[in-house]
Amino acid sequence: MQKLLAEFIGTFWLVFGGCGSAVLSAMFLTDGIQLGIGFVGVSLAFGLIVMTMTYAIGHISGCHLNPAVTAGLVVAGRHPKEDMIPYFIAQVLGAIAGAAVLFVIASGKDGFSAANGFASNGFGELSPAKYPMIAAFISESVLTFFFLFIILGATGKRAPSEFAPIAIGLGLTAIHLVGIPVTNLSVNPARSTATALFAGGAYLAQLWLFWVAPIIGGILAGFIYPFVAGSSKKE
């Protein structure tokens, strides 16, 4: 229960803070001057949130905050199979709770509508740069693969564990810098589910991709990393 509560709180913070940076701070005009943080700021927000939360709860639950991460770690032999579904549930519920609080705050501004996107993920007309479904699928799969590859390497027994959160956080930052224009970047089914529930409509209809592609990427990394590392799965 402590692990599940840690995952709930961590994923709450990931969605509230990361998506909050996109919804509240990415675009901000004052007297015609752009003071928003833009793509780079949002990317850094997600990376810093994961880095700091890994230090906070990594020793409790592993700080997965992401069903694709949990699935990849299970395949790699780093996480018990029986804990996978409970982790999924805790992560999705934490993400929804974080999105709900963000929605209440964002709704305080005149003219706000979650139907405009609410930092949700999408392809085609819902992609920030109008990328098609195939580009979105490949992007989400490949970027999740490399995110899991970084996690598996940084948390291996032969790696300097005290630096793992830094590598993971910077890795997530880099992934966002690449992927935001394509899909608004997910690599996390829980995060995608939470915002899509509030955006509704076509965002919910496209949600399947943001479960399937990241899970595939995570599982592939879980299979491939042990061979690349030349070690047993648990290393």
Q: How does pLDDT run across 49-94, given as a tens digit for each residue?
A: 999 999 999 999 999 999 999 999 999 999 999 999 999 999 999 9
- Does 17 map to a domain? yes
| Closest among 68, 40, 43, 49 to 11, alpha carbons compared | 49
Q: In percent, how much of the chain has pLDDT > 90? A: 83
pTM of the model: 0.92
Token couple for 201: 């409509």
Per-residue pLDDT at 27: 79
Per-residue pLDDT at 231: 63
Q: What is the DSSP letter of 32?
A: T
Q: Is the distance from CB of 18 to CB of 44 less than 8 angstroms?
A: no
- Does 235 map to a domain? no
Name residue 34's beta-bridge partners: 29
- Does 124 map to a domain? yes
pLDDT per residue over 100-142, tens digit each?
999 999 999 888 889 999 999 999 999 999 999 999 999 999 9
Q: Does 98 have pLDDT greater than 80?
A: yes
Q: Is the distance from CB of 171 to CB of 51 less than 8 angstroms?
A: no
- Does 190 map to a domain? yes
Q: How far apart are CA 218 and CA 147, in angstroms?
A: 8
Evaluated on CA atoms 100, 106, 110, 114, the torsion sign reads: negative
Per-residue pLDDT at 35: 78
| Closest among 151, 14, 139, 128 to 72, alpha carbons compared | 151
CATH number of the domain to which 153 belongs: 1.20.1080.10
Per-residue pLDDT at 177: 97
Give me the mean pLDDT over the 94-99 stretch.
98
Lowest model confidence (mean pLDDT) among 28-32, 93-97, 184-188, 191-195: 28-32
- Does 18 map to a domain? yes
Cβ partners under 8 Å of residue 179, min gap 6: 139, 140, 143, 185, 187
Who has greater pLDDT, 133 or 1?
A: 133
Number of domains in the chain: 1
CA 39 to chain centre: 15
- Range of the structural domain that residue 204 is part of: 2-229
Q: In percent, how much of the chain has pLDDT > 70? A: 97
Q: Does 232 have pLDDT greater than 80?
A: no
Q: How far apart are CA 220 and CA 98, in angstroms?
A: 29
Q: Does 234 have pLDDT greater than 60?
A: no
- Does 166 map to a domain? yes
| Closest among 136, 10, 154 to 76, alpha carbons compared | 154
pLDDT averaged over every residue in the chain: 93
Per-residue pLDDT at 159: 80
- Does 234 map to a domain? no
